[in-house]
Structure 1
Amino acid sequence: MNRVLFLTRAFFLVFLGFLGFGCTNYSTTAAVQAPPTLISITNNGNSNFTIKVRAQNPEFIFQGYRLYSGATETLAQNPADLNLGAQCVLAQATFVQPIEYTFEIDPSTNPNTAGVSCRIFTTLTPGTYIAMRTLGLSVNLQNSTSSFKVSISSNTLIVP
């Protein structure tokens, strides 16, 4: 019994020593997330829109998407503050596989309708441009903080 306890403790000490001193192959740069591709946007009436998006979520740090709108294509793709978009954090997603998402854009707090991947609670104005970015989780191990990092921008669509 003591031998098993000793071997278990010895294994954990060696393992912790390896993690603390032996593992030097890590990166301090954030992983790059692939941007989504906007396929279509449909006006469902009452400030409610449906957006079809094709995307691939290649990393376990993938969290969801953030939607931006602007008066021009450039303003939608390059907002002044990347934190000001409306986001959709997906709890369950298929990793590494390209998938087509259906997002519902609705300012109300209604639940998702059938077949909708996620609801984004915001108001869109017809004639404006929209773009999306992928959200990835970024963790700073030095000060134990985390935040979202965003990908480069998707293509844009004009809100009908």
Structure 2
Amino acid sequence: MNTGHFLFRLFFTGLVVFCTFRCTNYSTTASVQAPPTLISIVNNGNSNFILKVRAQNPEFIFQGYRIYSGTTEALAQNPPDLNLGAECFLAQAAIVQPIEYTFEVDPSTNPNTAGVSCRIFTTLITGTYISMRTLGLSVNLQDSTRTFRVSIPSNTLIVP
């Protein structure tokens, strides 16, 4: 075995052990995600809507978006339970790049239409309000649990 390779592996192993047991300089404050901006919503017929959204995915913990609907603007932006919305996970999203997304909101399990970033499987009702929030991954280092942390709400649009 090469001595240089052995010493490098020994140093790296020692560094990992040191960081695991001695490094306590990490933040317990959750990162704040920026909310998206809803641009437009168009009815394509048959409960199928195209939603244009402008957003920036600021960190590697970015996971996607969650859409909420309600009979009033306040209910769409502040639902009683933040877990009740429909998600869209964007695995291939560009980090730290402002981008305009095209979402297809449709309750069916059809594949995405060409040019659509993501399909959100939910039903929207004409005349209701919609809002979105950014989903970020939140990891508790003490018990190794993972949850989603949601941003503040976006603006609202009325479903046509």
Report the TM-score, using the length of structure 2 for normalisation: 0.94
Q: 1:61 maps to which residue?
A: 61
Aligned to 1:156: 156
Question: 1:76 — aligned with what?
Answer: 76
Provide the aligned length of Structure 1 versus Structure 2: 160
In structure 2, the residue matched to 1:27 is 27
Indicate the SS of the match to 1:54: strand
Aligned-partner Cα distance in 2 for 1:23–1:45 = 56
Identity of aligned residues (%): 79
- Cα distance in 2 for residues equivalent to 1:117 and 1:61: 19
Corresponding residue of 1:38: 38
Aligned ranges 1:1-160 → 2 under 5 Å: 1=1, 3-4=3-4, 6-160=6-160
Q: Please, what is the CA RMSD of the aligned residues?
A: 1.4
Residue 9 of structure 1 and its aligned partner are, at CA, apart by 4.2
1:18 Cα deviation from its structure 2 partner: 3.6
* 123-132 vs 3-12, which moves further: 3-12
Calculate the TM-score normalised by the size of structure 1.
Answer: 0.94
What runs of 5+ residues in structure 1 fail to find an aligned partner?
Answer: none
SS in 1 for 2:8: helix
Letter in 2 for 1:33: Q
Gaps of 5+ in 2: none
CA distance in 2, matches of 1:44, 1:13: 57
